Amino acid sequence: MAADLFQLDGRKAVVVGGGSGLGRASAVALAEYGARVVVADVDAAGAEETAESIRQLGREAIRRELDVRESAQIRELAEAEPDADVLVVTPGINVRKRLVDTTDEEFDRVVDVNLKGTYRLVREFGARMAERGRGSIITFASFRAEVVEPGQGIYAATKAGVVQLSRALAAELGPRGVRVNAIAPGPFETPLTEQIKSDEAWYGAYARKTALQRWAKAEEIAGAVVYLASDASSYVTGSLQLVEGGWTAIDGRFDPGV
């Protein structure tokens, strides 16, 4: 049955950044579809809260503390979870400043988490999945990989880099049974967007730009994650899955009265 394609029973999913926001929503959704979940996050308390919420569903979950800026920690996690069938990489930070106002330190900080952190994770887990001949890697880019606004330059550059890393890895590991896809969320209600939500004009403009005329809740990422993790997407790799309410599909400048 087609519905069975989405089931993840017997599989292990490692969700990095699972302590809050889209990572937490992803971890819970994967558990609901049968996966055993490892919740990894630099925020140990947040990771444990997510893991406990999964256990309350009657599903199996453990938490691990992880800083994606530390290669040794990532290697240790990959060695501790060599049978991971799914890797979800969600961590991201932003510095909302015009490029001419940014510093080298700010650039390095965003790149280290968003781009290099993703690289470290897909390198370690991808190699092990390739050895086993199967696996699904899901990276989190952003609609900012496709369209930008003033003050989002460094973030946008890193997320575009995540897309290309994912495509390259898909090409390299496809022959060995590993699929790699990126998700590009749009305006979601998460801790990362608190600065925008605190500005009524900014917040409202984002809602109006989408075709659906609203922000998304974190739980609305679940369908894309489960789909890409499961056999329902068995012939999907190297893709960018937009989950942005139609933001990039429409012009948005004017609604003609026709």
Whether the per-residue pLDDT at 192 is higher than 80: the answer is no
The pLDDT tens digits of the residues spanning 40-88 come to: 999 999 999 999 999 999 999 999 999 999 999 999 999 999 999 999 9
CATH topology for the 2-244 domain: Rossmann fold (3.40.50)
- The catalytic residue positions are 155
The pLDDT tens digits of the residues spanning 3-44 come to: 799 999 999 999 999 999 999 999 999 999 999 999 999 999
Q: 3-state DSSP call for residue 144?
A: helix
Distance CA 134, CA 46 (A): 30
Q: Which residue has the tokens 């960018």?
A: 240
Q: Are the beta carbons of 135 and 179 closer than 8 angstroms?
A: yes
Give me the pLDDT at residue 41, please. Answer: 98
Distance CA 136, CA 127 (A): 12
pTM for this one?
0.96
